Amino acid sequence: MVVIPARGGSKRIPGKNVKPLGGKPLIDYTLEAALGIFTGDQICITTDDERIVERAKEKGIEVPFLRPPALATDESNMVDVLKHCVAFYEEKNREFENILLLQPTSPFRKKSDLVNALKSFTEDVDLVASVFVTKSNPYYLLYEEDQQGWLKKSKGEKFFGRAQDVPDVYELNGSVFVIRITTLKTFPCTSVLQFPRVKKYVMDEYYSVDLDTEIDWEFAEFLLNKKLISLYE
């Protein structure tokens, strides 16, 4: 089952999920990516916004329920949102083993990213999470104040050489999560990232844009205008 969470509210970028990006609503990027490998009846849109319902229907995806208001606030817990989706379909006698969670605020995905992330979800894994190699490497660039107020390296005091000499560190990009439903239902947590067996799927930095601020949005427009990304490959 694919789950696309797309509530209507957003404080930093009002109406974000239906705001045009590169000439089409933001939500369309994720709807089209999901439809590239799944049929409409395998896709669950969890939203409280009728505008998003209409966009989904135009793509051939039915939306059989609206998300309850209690699960559509800034403080809403994604684990609870996912459990609500699973429970809805189980009541309809439709059971799934896994969830492919696609967040609209990370719109740039190749088809190959989805296919390969799903392939990497093996029987010994609870969660596959998409990441990219971060430039903010705690072995090389990040420092913290000690109790006396002096700057000390966040990690790896022995590394004071070149950037290429330090280990890679990965940053979540929020784009692709493959989630084992039995773990979701039984493991006590407030985030799927607390699952015991988490595996990375590495994506390109340009495809890892997470739209949280207007500056993020402008950068995404720049990538599209300069044709620096190629979707659905």
Q: Residue 9's pLDDT is what?
A: 77
Contacts of 197 (CB under 8 A, 6+ apart): 124, 125, 126, 127
Tally of residues, the chain: 233
Nearest to 131 by CA among 112, 159, 106, 100: 106
State whether CATH 3.90.550.10 applies to domain 2-131+172-225. yes
Q: Which two tokens stand for residue 116?
A: 């390969």
Q: What is the C-alpha to C-alpha distance for residues 140 and 158, in angstroms, rounded to an integer?
A: 10
Residues carrying CATH 3.90.550.10, the chain: 2-131+172-225
Q: Residue 220's pLDDT is what?
A: 97
pLDDT in tens, the chain (233 residues): 999 999 987 777 889 999 999 999 999 999 999 999 999 999 999 999 999 999 999 999 999 999 999 999 888 899 999 999 999 999 999 999 999 999 999 999 999 999 999 999 999 999 999 999 999 999 888 999 999 999 998 987 777 667 778 889 999 999 999 999 999 999 999 999 999 999 999 999 999 999 999 999 999 999 999 999 988 77
Q: Residue 201's pLDDT is what?
A: 98
C-alpha 116: how far from its chain's center? 15
DSSP collapsed to 3 states, the chain: CEEEECCCCCCCCCCHHHCEECCEEHHHHHHHHHHCCCCHHHEEEECCCHHHHHHHHHCCCCCCCCCCHHHCCCCCCHHHHHHHHHHHHHHCCCCCCEEEEECCCCCCCCHHHHHHHHHCCCCCCCEEEEEEECCCCCCCCCEEECCCCCEEECCCCCCCCCHHHCCCCEEEEEEEEEEEHHHHHHCCCCCHHHCCCEEEEECCHHHHCCCCCHHHHHHHHHHHHCCCCCCCC
Q: Which two tokens stand for residue 135?
A: 């430039």
